[in-house]
Every structure is written in C-alpha cells, then in structure tokens.
A and B are shown apart, each in its own frame.
Chain A
Amino acid sequence: MDSERQFEVDKKFQKELNAGTGALLLLSTLKKSGKPLYGYQIAKLIEGSHEKGQVIKLGTLYPVLRSLEDNRLLSSEVEPSVSGPPRRYYQITEEGKKTLKRWIGIWSYTKDFLDKTIMEGK
C-alpha cells in the first residue's frame, strides 16, 4: 500500500471513530468545566488536551453541539459580544449529566471489549 493511500485510509478510519465519539467528548468537557462555555472556548479546551497532534477537527464539533442541544442534553444562551459576532454559550443539563454517566459506561464497555479482541489477535 503506498503511503498516500495509507494516509487516506487512516484518515477515513479516524473520521469514522470521531463521528461516534464527538458527542461524548463534548458532554464530558462541558461537565468538567462546570460553567457555560461558547464554541471557541470548548474548542480550545479540547485542543489543549491533545498531546499527540490534532485528532478531531474542531469544525466538525460545532454541529454536534447543536444536535446535543436539540436532544436537550445541553442548553444554550446567546450573549452579544463587544467586538465580534454574538456568542452562544452552552451548558450541560441534568439530563445531559445522566446521559453522560450512561455513555461513559457504554464507552468503557466498548473499549474493554475492543481491547480484549485486539489483544487476542496479537
């Protein structure tokens, strides 16, 4: 496999993984912060926790924020900002906290299962 194709395949795999985990990442980031954050702040927090380069494209997280809000796991408020466009502040709801707890359970189960399967083959 030439390196360009390898890169494409890896990128696609990473993208598919991110599609499923973005919501979990956002919920836990907002839970940890404990205060309302707007898109850019959330993006910075997530970017800050990357150690090995950029895994998730921040632009793909914004629509996830919206869908989480549609599902009432987040609530939001718009505040005008002095110098730029108005900012939408997101905060985790009670339902969101409960959901996060369950999702963490599902995540660790999936992770254990996958780890076990991967390691068996090694």
Chain B
Amino acid sequence: MITSKKAYINHLKKALSGCDRAIVQDAIADAEEYLFDTLKSMEKEDPEIDEPEAIRKIIETYGTPEEVALAYKRIELNTSPYGDKAKDSQIISENKEDPSPQIPIQKAKRKWYKSFFGIMAQPRAWGSLLYLLLLLPLGIIYFTWAITGISLSVGLIVLIVGLPFMWLFLLSVRGLALMEGKLVEALVGIRMPRRQVFSNKSLNFWGRLKNQLGDKYTWLSLIYLIICLPLGIFYSSIIISLVAVSLYLIATPVLNLVFHWPLFIDSGFLYYLPVWLMPFAVIAGILLIFGIMHLVKVLGTLQGRLAKVMLVRPNR
C-alpha cells in the first residue's frame, strides 16, 4: 500500500527497474510535478486531508506506479533516438502485464562488405566524428571552468562569499553536465535525461549546499568535465593522425610521380614507393578512411557510455 509521495516515487523507480536511466529520470520528474501540484491543490480544498488518503485519490486518477511505468516503456519504444529497439522491446515483453503483442525484431543480416562501406551512410558515425572532434574545444572550456571554479571556491572559502560562490559553481557544473548530455544524445544517439533532477525547494541555502556537496553526481560531473580535456586531446590526435596517413596513402602516386616528393629520406637517400605498389597504397588509404569511421563510431559510443555513467543518476 502506497501512503506517501516518497513511497509512490520509490514504487515507480522499482517498476521502471531495468529501464534506461534517462527514462527513469524523466518519468520521476513528471510524477513529481503532478504529485506536487495535486497534493497542494488538495490541501487547499481540504486542509484536513492526510497524505495516505490524498495519495490514494491521486493513484485513482494518475494511475498506479506499474501502469505509469508501462506507459513510459511503451512510448520509449517509438521515440528513443536511433532506438536500440531490440533492447527496449525485450523490456516490454518481460512485463507480463503488457497486453500488446511482442514486436518481432528482425536483425538485418548484411553482407560484411555492405556493412563495412555502409558506415559512410550512417548518421551515427558522422555524429560521433563531430562529437569527438568537438570534445577538444569543449574539453578546454570545461577544464578551464572546472579548475577556475575549484580554485576560486577553495580560495574564497575563508570569506563570506566563498560558500555562495561554491554553490553557484556546483550548480553551473550540473548545468554543463545536462548540456553535455544533450550533446551526447543528439550526436551519438545515447538516450540521456531531458529534465534536470528536482531539487527540494523547501530547503534553505545550507540544506541545498549540503545536498549538492553530498551528491555523488555533483563530483562525478565535475570529474567528467575535467577528464574531457585529455580525452578530447586523445581522440583528436588519433583521428587527425589516421586521416593524415590515409590521405597521404591516397595521394602517394601524385606526390611521388608528379611532385617527386619522396616517401621518406634516410641518410641523404630519397626513397620512393615502387610504381607497382602504388595502386595498393591508394586502396589501403581508401580502406583506412572507412576503417577510421568504424573506429570513430566505437569511440563515440564508448565516450557516450562514459558520459551516461558519470552524469546520469542510476535507477535506485
């Protein structure tokens, strides 16, 4: 029997267990909005009403946590970006209450060469490329922001403005984390929360600061912002060097034969690629370009998962 708002939210979390964390966060934000407003208007109408009674009435109109959870699962099946439908429908079919027939999943079997060259037509690969390259400039901004914020917070702590400054800084970290999450969702296609975590407005400044400081995700987000810089440098170097190598391989015939640029110079000797090897160099260069796109897609997904683990509260 659910007798409080908190219990309702906990039941909802439980009913959504196994779901994408981002869905859970959205569902809880929606339920919190409804429960908060409804409880308030009920109290206004009848100041005598106790919480268990109010919650019972709310469940009648809003639905049980299980019903609500099922609705989110079903909708998400159609809306997750580039949806991992196989996974989602598995969740749905596990739920015995679900009346809808299981959606058959057809795993497209493609010939290896089609999937190898088809990477160029995959928006996710291009999105990952853009995201990984963006991570360097963004990493510089995040890093500067985080380090400046930390140093100023620590430095100012002895002054009266120190703590409000720290609180504002930690809020900005949360904001950046949410923005980064949206970027990951848009470019890499990993579902991230669309709403922020609800912070209790009834708390005073100290309570909120304490909440912020005690929340693991504040610190994980901060660490994430800092490690974006080295990761951004790493990704950009890999991508740029590999692209340079493949362009060089493709251009070898022109460079060697037309411009007489040697392959390399050693002890005063100029080395050229034998002419019969040149077509192979060009082919290798072209294949490498496709290979890079595959690598980029994998790296983008890994980075997206890292972002999800560090920025999104898991379903507890």
A interface residue numbers (CB < 8 A to B) = 12, 15-16, 19, 38-40, 43, 47, 54, 57-60, 62-64, 66-67, 70-71, 78, 82-88
The distance from the CB of B100 to the nearest CB of chain A, in whole angstroms, is: 8
B194 A66 Cβ-Cβ under 8 A: yes
The distance from the CB of B84 to the nearest CB of chain A, in whole angstroms, is: 16
B interface residue numbers (CB < 8 A to A) = 26-27, 29-34, 36-38, 40, 60-63, 67-68, 70-72, 74-76, 78-79, 99-100, 194-196, 198, 201
Q: By DSSP majority rule, is chain A's interface helix, strand, loop, or mixed? A: helix
In the complex, the chain B residue whose C-beta lies closest to that of A80 is: B201
A60 B68 Cβ-Cβ under 8 A: yes
Instruction: Say which residue of A16, A57, A85, A87 sits within 8 Å of B63 (CB atoms).
Output: A57
The distance from the CB of A7 to the nearest CB of chain B, in whole angstroms, is: 15
In the complex, the chain A residue whose C-beta lies closest to that of B75 is: A63
In the complex, the chain B residue whose C-beta lies closest to that of A84 is: B36
A54 B75 Cβ-Cβ under 8 A: no
- What residues of A have a CB within 8 angstroms of the CB of B33 in the complex? 38-40, 84-85, 87-88
- What residues of A have a CB within 8 angstroms of the CB of B26 in the complex? 66
Given the known interface contacts A12-B99, A57-B67, A67-B78, the answer about A62 and B201 at a Cβ–Cβ threshold of 8 Å is no
A85 B75 Cβ-Cβ under 8 A: no
**What CA separation (Å) do A54 and B59 show in the bound complex?**
11
Give the residue among A59, A63, A64, A88 with the most B Cβ atoms within 10 A: A59
**What CA separation (Å) do A53 and B36 show in the bound complex?**
23
In the complex, the chain A residue whose C-beta lies closest to that of B37 is: A40
In the complex, the chain A residue whose C-beta lies closest to that of B80 is: A70
B34 A62 Cβ-Cβ under 8 A: yes
8 closest residue pairs by CB, A with B: A57-B63, A60-B71, A59-B68, A59-B63, A63-B75, A62-B30, A40-B37, A59-B62
**What CA separation (Å) do A117 and B230 show in the bound complex?**
67
Given the known interface contacts A12-B99, A83-B201, A87-B33, the answer about A67 and B79 at a Cβ–Cβ threshold of 8 Å is yes
Given the known interface contacts A54-B61, A57-B63, A84-B201, the answer about A64 and B68 at a Cβ–Cβ threshold of 8 Å is no
